[in-house]
A and B are shown apart, each in its own frame.
Chain A
Amino acid sequence: MANKISHLLVALSLVLGLAFMAPSAQAQVNPTEQSVNEGALLEALGSGGNVAGRITIPDQNAGYLIKPDNKLWAALQGETLHQISIWAVIGMVALLTLFYVIRGKIRVDGGLSGRKILRFNTIERFAHWTLASTFIILALSGLNLIIGKTVILPLLGENAFGTLSAWGKIAHNYLAWPFMVALVMVLLLWVVHNIPNRLDVEWLKQGGGLVKKGVHPPAKKFNAGQKIIFWAVIAGGAALSYTGVMLLFPAVAGTPADWQFFQTIHALTAAVLSAIIIAHIYIGSVGMEGAFDAMGTGEVDENWAKEHHSLWVEEVKGAKASEGRTQPAE
């Protein structure tokens, strides 16, 4: 009890002391002088900090006075992503050109047999071409937003480039939806054929037979290389879809910091996936004899199939054979 009273006395004397001191202190200190200071405030906030306060207009976001870190995103978008996107495309095209010069077109070693096997049915081809056509327009209109000002603007001039980009943006916003539908279709149609297994290890060890002539590691419907493309498209497509939808609905996505994040992931994924798809387009067209038919007419030459998907040919032929046969009595 005595203790408490002594505490109280100390506190009281402090308050009184201050009260007595106040007038003299006021004489020396100008109260308006004690204010928030920009330099000290920025330093105290550190990186990631924003100078914010009260605002009387309805848009409460306007209460953020200074967001210094926005400049970091500006540098990332204006320089880093710009460079990455350009080099992803140029790098892959250069690599493929080199490959074409060294290896040439991959021919069917056994020559064409003239006999055809159905590889992809109408639904599979519809899903593939919906995905592919929307992807190409999405990639071109998207890439235009990053590198168009360097590549296309000087060719077209500001007015025409602005109009083109505005159309590209509309195309990008609307074609995203069929792209997502096709992505789900492709996933459902082909996921069973794309589960990795031991054959893939062997296939990869032999370089897929891409490097050396006459080497043809066995594969089912899809070989390890195609499985890599498949999963890259599924994962990359999902990432692009998710971040893209967030960019379309900024209110759902959250704050400007979230928009910056989604935009960065979107642009990075787009650069990587575009490079992968360029390689895919190469091998499906000029890079390999007989490959385009699989998605063109849906039917491939039997010799092509035997070389690139030996086990799949056996499966198909086996199924055909057992279909034709009536069950033998046991």
Chain B
Amino acid sequence: MARMKFLCDADRCIECNACVTACKNEHEVPWGINRRRVVTINDGLPGERSVSMACMHCTDAPCAAVCPVSCFYTTDDGVVLHNKDTCIGCGYCAYACPFGAPQYPQTANFGTRGKMDKCTYCSGGPEPDMSQAEYVKYGSNRLAEGKLPLCAEMCSTKSLLAGDGDIIAEIYRERVITRGYGSGAWGWRTAYGETVTV
């Protein structure tokens, strides 16, 4: 089985935010939640770079380590998913995640946050694949349809890559060698304990 990963080639990202919009639309993501976002580093300075970021589907996911109800599970594809029926909205996964992926539909006091929501790598949740129940809670399940995450598939500059970790790393490596530079595989060190070496 493939080990699915995301890789944002920041040297190509033009901060168009289409990935953000596509994700929100594809999954009918609730108000106030952005499963994907684009952050611009050194904004306005020479050498600024924009990085599109969502859940990285970490190896040894920190969110899963702290969840008091153990509602996270890692699929055969290496995708980190969670069960909204079990989630108690304690917020711990959001404390633990290095990428700010877990978010909540409510931000009221008294620990009432609602069920945690995050990027599913377009692969739904524990419900039967492509069922209505799954769609309502987690959004569409493109992986079950044999498609890759929409954000990466529609990226106009092909900055955002999704797919088997080894393959997208190889694509990135080739790009860096061809053009002679690369700002790095953002988040890889933190999520997977290794980066793409060129």
- Tell me the residues in window 56-83 of chain B with beta carbons closer than 8 Å to chain A beta carbons: 62-63, 65-71, 83
- Tell me the residues in window 47-61 of chain A with beta carbons closer than 8 Å to chain B beta carbons: 51-59, 61
The reply to whether the CB of A122 lies closer than 8 angstroms to some CB of chain B is no
Tell me whether A159 and B85 are in contact in the complex, defined as CB-CB below 8 angstroms, given that A35-B181, A146-B68 are known contacts.
yes
The answer to whether B91 touches A162, judged by C-beta atoms less than 8 angstroms apart, is: no
**In the assembled complex, how far is the CB of residue B103 from the closest CB belonging to chain A, in whole angstroms?**
8
Complex Cα–Cα for A65 and B189 (A): 13
The answer to whether A145 touches B65, judged by C-beta atoms less than 8 angstroms apart, is: no
When distances are taken between beta carbons in the complex, the residues of chain A under 8 Å from B91 are 250, 259
Interface footprint category on A: 35 or more
The answer to whether A36 touches B183, judged by C-beta atoms less than 8 angstroms apart, is: yes
Interface SS majority for chain A: helix
Name, among B20, B66, B87, B92, the residue most crowded by chain A CB atoms within 10 Å (CB to CB): B66
For A215-254 the 0/1 string (1 means CB < 8 A from B) is: 0000000000000000000000000000000011111000
The reply to whether the CB of B185 lies closer than 8 angstroms to some CB of chain A is yes
The answer to whether B94 touches A65, judged by C-beta atoms less than 8 angstroms apart, is: no
The reply to whether the CB of B46 lies closer than 8 angstroms to some CB of chain A is yes
Tell me whether A66 and B109 are in contact in the complex, defined as CB-CB below 8 angstroms, given that A34-B46, A162-B86 are known contacts.
no
Complex Cα–Cα for A78 and B61 (A): 11
Complex Cα–Cα for A37 and B183 (A): 4
Complex Cα–Cα for A143 and B186 (A): 37
**In the assembled complex, how far is the CB of residue A183 from the closest CB belonging to chain B, in whole angstroms?**
20
Tell me whether A158 and B186 are in contact in the complex, defined as CB-CB below 8 angstroms, given that A62-B39, A63-B39 are known contacts.
no
**In the assembled complex, how far is the CB of residue A128 from the closest CB belonging to chain B, in whole angstroms?**
27
The reply to whether the CB of B128 lies closer than 8 angstroms to some CB of chain A is no
The answer to whether A66 touches B85, judged by C-beta atoms less than 8 angstroms apart, is: no
Binds A, one of B30-38, B140-148, B154-162: B30-38
When distances are taken between beta carbons in the complex, the residues of chain B under 8 Å from A57 are 20, 34, 37
Interface footprint category on B: 35 or more
**In the assembled complex, how far is the CB of residue A28 from the closest CB belonging to chain B, in whole angstroms?**
12
The answer to whether A173 touches B110, judged by C-beta atoms less than 8 angstroms apart, is: yes
Tell me whether A38 and B39 are in contact in the complex, defined as CB-CB below 8 angstroms, given that A65-B53, A68-B190 are known contacts.
no
When distances are taken between beta carbons in the complex, the residues of chain A under 8 Å from B62 are 70-71, 74-75, 78
Complex Cα–Cα for A51 and B10 (A): 14
Beta-carbon nearest neighbor of B195 in chain A: A39
When distances are taken between beta carbons in the complex, the residues of chain A under 8 Å from B98 are 66-71
Complex Cα–Cα for A69 and B67 (A): 17
Complex Cα–Cα for A36 and B40 (A): 11
The answer to whether B70 touches A153, judged by C-beta atoms less than 8 angstroms apart, is: yes
The answer to whether B186 touches A162, judged by C-beta atoms less than 8 angstroms apart, is: no
When distances are taken between beta carbons in the complex, the residues of chain B under 8 Å from A51 are 41, 186
The answer to whether B190 touches A71, judged by C-beta atoms less than 8 angstroms apart, is: yes
The answer to whether B96 touches A73, judged by C-beta atoms less than 8 angstroms apart, is: yes
The answer to whether A248 touches B109, judged by C-beta atoms less than 8 angstroms apart, is: yes
The answer to whether A65 touches B110, judged by C-beta atoms less than 8 angstroms apart, is: no
- Tell me the residues in window 73-90 of chain A with beta carbons closer than 8 Å to chain B beta carbons: 73-75, 77-79
The reply to whether the CB of A33 lies closer than 8 angstroms to some CB of chain B is yes
The answer to whether B186 touches A66, judged by C-beta atoms less than 8 angstroms apart, is: yes
The reply to whether the CB of B106 lies closer than 8 angstroms to some CB of chain A is no
When distances are taken between beta carbons in the complex, the residues of chain A under 8 Å from B20 are 57
When distances are taken between beta carbons in the complex, the residues of chain A under 8 Å from B14 are none
Complex Cα–Cα for A145 and B32 (A): 27
The reply to whether the CB of B49 lies closer than 8 angstroms to some CB of chain A is yes
Complex Cα–Cα for A33 and B86 (A): 47
Complex Cα–Cα for A153 and B72 (A): 13
The answer to whether A74 touches B66, judged by C-beta atoms less than 8 angstroms apart, is: yes
When distances are taken between beta carbons in the complex, the residues of chain B under 8 Å from A35 are 10-11, 47-49, 181, 183
List 10 A-B pairs, Cβ < 8 Å: A38-B185, A64-B39, A65-B39, A68-B98, A68-B190, A70-B98, A162-B69, A162-B88, A247-B111, A248-B109
Contact surface of A with B, Cβ cutoff 8 Å: 30-39, 41-42, 51-59, 61-71, 73-75, 77-79, 144-146, 148-149, 153, 158-159, 161-162, 165-166, 169, 173, 247-251, 256, 259-260, 263
